[in-house]
Amino acid sequence: MQFHIYGHNVYEYFISEDLQEVIKWFDKQKVVYSLYYVPVPKDANYAIEFYAPQVEGAAYLGSFKNKKMV
């Protein structure tokens, strides 16, 4: 695929081409997490600054806790 979802919380990050897989990963941890749409393959090399992927066209999808936007 030519995109992936990048998610992070204060402890770790997780990437996948499947949005539901990323949500499931972070919901079990019970802390706030943020999601980004990243328009490059998940094996692409790019920088992360202030927890955000530095890729042209990347989009912040929101911050969530237990599937609810915070």
User: Which pLDDT tens digit goes with each residue over 32-55?
Assistant: 999 999 999 999 999 999 999 999
Position 53 scores a pLDDT of 98
For the entire predicted model, the pTM comes to 0.92
The torsion angles phi and psi of 64, rounded to 5 degrees, stand at -140, 155
> What's the rounded mean pLDDT across residues 26-31?
90
Position 49 scores a pLDDT of 96
Retrieve residue 28's tokens: 């079990």
Reply yes or no on whether the pLDDT at 29 is more than 90. Answer: no
Retrieve residue 51's tokens: 């927890």
- Report the share of the chain in percent with pLDDT over 70: 100
Retrieve residue 62's tokens: 């929101």
Let me know: does 42 contact 36? Beta carbons within 8 Å: no
| CA dist., res. 70 & res. 55, Å (int) | 24
Let me know: does 4 contact 46? Beta carbons within 8 Å: no
